[in-house]
Each structure stands twice: as structure tokens, then as C-alpha cells.
Amino acid sequence: MVSELIMTVTDRNTEEIILEAACTIFFQKGFAGARMQEIADSAGINKALLHYYYRSKDQLFEAVFNRALISFLPTIKIALEAEMPLTQKIAKFVENYVDVLIANPHIPAFVIHELNTDPNRVVLKLKSHGVDPRIILRQVDEAIAAGEIRAINGEHFLINLLSLCIFPFVARPVAQGILQKSNEEYTLFLQQRKSEILEFVMQSIKAS
Amino acid sequence: MVSELIMTVTDRNTEEIILEAACTIFFQKGFAGARMQEIADSAGINKALLHYYYRSKDQLFEAVFNRALISFLPTIKIALEAEMPLTQKIAKFVENYVDVLIANPHIPAFVIHELNTDPNRVVLKLKSHGVDPRIILRQVDEAIAAGEIRAINGEHFLINLLSLCIFPFVARPVAQGILQKSNEEYTLFLQQRKSEILEFVMQSIKAS
DNA sequence: ATTTGGTTTAACCAGATGGTCAAAAGTACA
DNA sequence: TGTACTTTTGACCATCTGGTTAAACCAAAT
């Protein structure tokens, strides 16, 4: 019993070290650009050990992709599907989501690229973790009917909200270049966006 | 003289065929995921011919990347740097830019991924073609001073505008999945965004 | 017809890459 | 200590991949 516990702990450690190294490399270079050897080096272990824990590059990648989704979808899911007054919900979503993005800035570009490269690979997974837009779409329509906001298209509104939150992270090099900001300045800029996005959106949808 | 002309034409044709095939493959799979053999097959030629016209994968990629930038930056540049009343300028920009995106839907994700993977590779090129944000930033401040729009932060506004236009293209698989739309439905959705974005933005910045 | 020039191809090469294997190292337990 | 077990490693392999080369091809000019 003791031995099992200890071994399991050791397992988890090495497995976890590998997975973290794999995340770093895969997030930055994508599936095709990542090298097993580089991941092994980054984890400080032998390449054969990668295959001992994760049998192939594909399976290691899948573990990484899962972790990427798990870091993101729950937050967006809870925020969008919760029953809560719309304006309050929007505020909470923007704040939570941008915080998650600041903590994991490389994940969106990674997921987007892999999904564009091979939409079939994990489309099922996306659906299983899937975000259900119906609740917030209904809330938008109700808020319009109640005269709380002006008449807007819920689907476009939802995509607008996501665009405003996520795009500055995926396009960071371009945006930072256009605005000619240093890393520190751009990081601050991203922090400010929480309030900027909220104000921008609220001004746009308020009943006139 | 005649022979030169004919040869040049032939050159251009093969070169162009290769470049177009390379664009298709590189745009979809990125630099690391693209295979020279696949590009050759797609162009219907021998692999050695790729190296005859473009000496290496790197140089072929650079030609592709150049073409990608040339498809995009002029439009955004002209639109943003033109001297034109702000609201009119915004309208023109959204319309023109979304049209360019519809015509070249894969380019933004491609550029973003390559820039994230290796920011150094072409950062110089981005700067040489660089968009100068100062003109539109000044226009925003002037419009605020003139009471035409409410007080907003120009930099955030510029990023908001770009986010709303570009993100639905780079994140198409995700967005299409969330909204549960078919390809045709999503294409229509993208068309509608021209007016939707414009209204969303205008409502947000109008003087209250 | 022969030569001359660019164009296209098949065959080939060296190095990289994902993956395997048998042996070594470490660990708990008798 | 010796045994049974998992973990870790160095060496190795088959294949893939970017790139080269020499020869074939072809159109135009002499």
C-alpha cells in the first residue's frame, strides 16, 4: 500500500513534469513544429521516457490539448450559461475571462491554429466540452423585450464579446507592433482592457 | 527579344503556379506543417523544380508571407491613414476590410501563428509595411474634442475595431461550432458583420 | 541538323525525427 | 541480501524530409 502510494506520487510528478514541458513547447510551436527531443530536453529527461508515459506524439499532444481546453472552457461555460442578470453577467464574464487569458496567454492562438490545421482532430472534444449559447441568447432577447438594452443580434453580440476579449492575446505581436509598445506596456494595456471592453460594450447596447 | 519575352512569360507562369500552391499549403498548415513534396504535388510538378525557382523552403515561405502581407496591409493602411472624417473612415474601413477578409479568409490565422511561433522571422517586414496608428489616434482625439464622439481611449478603440473584424475569421471553427452553423450559414454571418460591426461601434462611441 | 539556352525530371543523399528495445538503475519487500 | 517490480537510459532503427545532381527535354537561333 505504501509502495503503491509512493510510486503513484512519483509517477504523477514525472508525468506532470513532462506534460508541463510539452505544454510549453506545443503551445509555442504547435503540433507540427514541436520536437519530441526538445520536449524531453525541456523536461530534463530521456526521450524514451516520453514514450513510456505517453505512447506517441499524438497522445502527448492530446493530453496537452485537453489541458488547454480545461483551462478555458469551464470559465467561459460557467460565465455564459449561468442564470444571472445580463449586464451583471457580461461584467463578470469579461473580468473573469480576461484574467484567465492573462494567466494563459498562449492557449487561444494554439487552439485556433490546431483547429484550423485539422478541424477533425478534436472537433468532438470541443463539442463534448461545448459551450451552449442558447441561455445567453435567450437572455439577450429578454433584455431587449424588457427595454433594458437596444435591439441587437444576440449571435453577433456574443461573437463581438469574445472577439474583444480574445483577439488582443492571439494577435499580440501584431497589435504590440502597431501600437509600438514594450512588453510591459502591452501587458498593462491588456489589464486595462477589462474595464475598457466593459464600457465599450455597455455603451453600445444600452437602451437609447 | 521574342524568346526572352516568351521565356519570361513561361517563367512567370510556373513560378506563379508554384507560389499559389505554396500559399494554399502554407496558409493551411503553417511553415512547420507544410511539406515541400505536398506543395510540388499540389502544383503538379517535380519537387526539384521548387528548388529551381525558390532555392529553399525558407525562401519559398518568405515569398508566401510577403504575398500574405501585401494582400492585407495596403487595405488596412490606406483605410487607417487616410485623411477623412472619422465616422466615414470607420465605415469605409469595416466594409473594405471585411471584404478583404472574406476574399482571403486563411491569411490572418496564418500570419498570427507564424508571428507567434517566431516573432523575429519577419518582424522587420511588418515594420517596413507598418501601419502608422498616429493619424487615426489623432483623429479620435480631435473628434472627442469636437464633441462628435464620447471620450474614449484611441488605442483600445483601434484594437477593438480590428478585433471585431478579424477574430471571427481566425476563430472560425470555434465560433461556427459554438453557434452551430453550417458553412453557408457562417459565411452569411460573416457578410452580415459588416453592418453589425459598424452599428455596434457607432452606438458605442456616439456622444451621449 | 546542330547548337545553345533555359526548363523539368528521376534518382539520390545526409540529416532529422518519431519510435523501439534491451539493459541498467532504483525501490519496496521477503 | 536477494527478488520482483517499476522507472530511466543509451543505443539503435525505419522512415521522412529538405535539398542536390546529372541527365533528359524542349524551344529558339544559326
pLDDT of residue B151: 97
**How far apart (Å, rounded) are the C-alpha atoms in residues A173 and B118?**
10
- The mean per-residue pLDDT over the stretch B167-193 comes to 95
pLDDT of residue A109: 97
Amino acid at B63: A
Chain B contact for A123 (CB, 8 A cutoff): yes
Q: Where are the beta strands (DSSP E) in chain B?
A: none
Within 10 Å of residue B145's Cβ, how many Cβ atoms?
10
Between CA A165 and C1' D6 the distance (Å) reads 47
* Cβ neighbours for A158, distance < 8 A, ≥ 6 positions apart: A80, A133, A136, A137, B178, B179
pLDDT of residue A11: 59
- Report the alpha-carbon angle B110-B15-B10, nearest 5: 155
Could you give the maximum distance between any two Cα atoms of chain A, in Å? Answer: 69
Find the CB nearest B160 among A130, A172, A200: A200
Mind listing the pLDDT tens digit for each residue in A132-167? 889 999 999 999 999 999 999 999 999 999 999 999
Please state, rounded to an integer, the average pLDDT across all residues of chain A: 90
**How far apart (Å, rounded) are the C-alpha atoms in residues A155 and A173?**
28
Per-residue b or e along A126-141, where b marks 16 or more CB atoms closer than 10 Å to that residue's CB: beebebebeebbebbe
**List of chain A residues whose C-beta atoms are within 8 Å of the C-beta of residue B186:** none
Report CB contact under 8 Å: B200, A160.
yes
* A–B CB contacts, 8 A cutoff, strictly below: 165
pLDDT of residue A7: 44
- The mean per-residue pLDDT over the stretch B176-201 comes to 96
pLDDT of residue B79: 82
Between CA B198 and C1' C27 the distance (Å) reads 67
Between CA B58 and C1' C10 the distance (Å) reads 24
pLDDT of residue B194: 97
**List of chain B residues whose C-beta atoms are within 8 Å of the C-beta of residue A196:** 153, 156, 160
**How far apart (Å, rounded) are the C-alpha atoms in residues A103 and A183?**
15
Residue A107 grid coordinates: 492557449
Q: For chain B, what's the residue count? A: 208
User: Does B29 contact strand D, using a CB cutoff of 7 Å?
Assistant: no
Place of cell 524568346: B3
Mind listing the pLDDT tens digit for each residue in B113-158? 999 998 766 566 666 677 888 999 999 999 999 999 999 999 999 9
pLDDT of residue B170: 97
Q: Which of A77-91, A172-186, B23-37, B38-52 has the lowest mean pLDDT?
A: A77-91
Residue B110 grid coordinates: 496564418
pLDDT of residue A181: 94
**How far apart (Å, rounded) are the C-alpha atoms in residues A145 and B33?**
49
Is residue A127 predicted with pLDDT exceeding 80? no
Within 10 Å of residue B75's Cβ, how many Cβ atoms?
15
Which of A101, A156, A181, A188 to probe by mutation at the B interface, max B CB count within 10 Å?
A156
The answer to whether A82 and A89 have CB atoms below 8 angstroms apart is yes
User: Do B66-205 and B1-55 fall under one CATH topology?
Assistant: no
Better-predicted residue by pLDDT, B57 or A81: B57
What superfamily in CATH does domain A1-55 come from?
A: Homeodomain-like (1.10.10.60)
Mind listing the pLDDT tens digit for each residue in A62-90? 999 999 999 888 888 888 888 889 999 99
- The mean per-residue pLDDT over the stretch A100-107 comes to 96
Kindly indicate the confidence band of residue A8, based on its pLDDT and cuts at 50, 70 and 90: very low
Report CB contact under 8 Å: B167, A166.
yes
Residue B87 grid coordinates: 465616422
Q: Which nucleotide is closest to the Cα of A58 by its C1'? A: C18
Chain A contact for B116 (CB, 8 A cutoff): yes
**List of chain B residues whose C-beta atoms are within 8 Å of the C-beta of residue A133:** 178-180
Residues A67-205, CATH architecture:
Orthogonal Bundle (1.10)
**How far apart (Å, rounded) are the C-alpha atoms in residues B163 and B101?**
13
Between CA A114 and C1' C30 the distance (Å) reads 52
pLDDT of residue B73: 83
Chain A contact for B105 (CB, 8 A cutoff): no
Q: Could you identify the residue whose CA is nearest to the C1' atom of nucleotide D28?
A: B3
Q: Alpha carbon A208 to chain centroid distance?
A: 34
Report CB contact under 8 Å: A117, B164.
no
What would the CATH number be for the domain defined by B66-205?
1.10.357.10
Find the CB nearest B32 among A29, A173, A201: A29
Chain B contact for A86 (CB, 8 A cutoff): no
Chain B contact for A160 (CB, 8 A cutoff): yes
**How far apart (Å, rounded) are the C-alpha atoms in residues A132 and A137?**
10
Question: How do the domains of chain B map onto residue ranges?
Answer: 1-55, 66-205
Which of A28, A98, A135, A159 to probe by mutation at the B interface, max B CB count within 10 Å?
A159
Report CB contact under 8 Å: A113, B115.
no
**How far apart (Å, rounded) are the C-alpha atoms in residues B165 and B95?**
9
Chain B contact for A120 (CB, 8 A cutoff): no
* Cβ neighbours for A109, distance < 8 A, ≥ 6 positions apart: A169, A170, B112, B113, B116
Is residue A197 predicted with pLDDT exceeding 90? yes
Q: Could you identify the residue whose CA is nearest to the C1' atom of nucleotide C26?
A: A7
Q: Which of A4-18, B3-17, B19-33, B39-53 has the lowest mean pLDDT?
A: B3-17
Chain A contact for B119 (CB, 8 A cutoff): yes
Residue A194 grid coordinates: 477589462
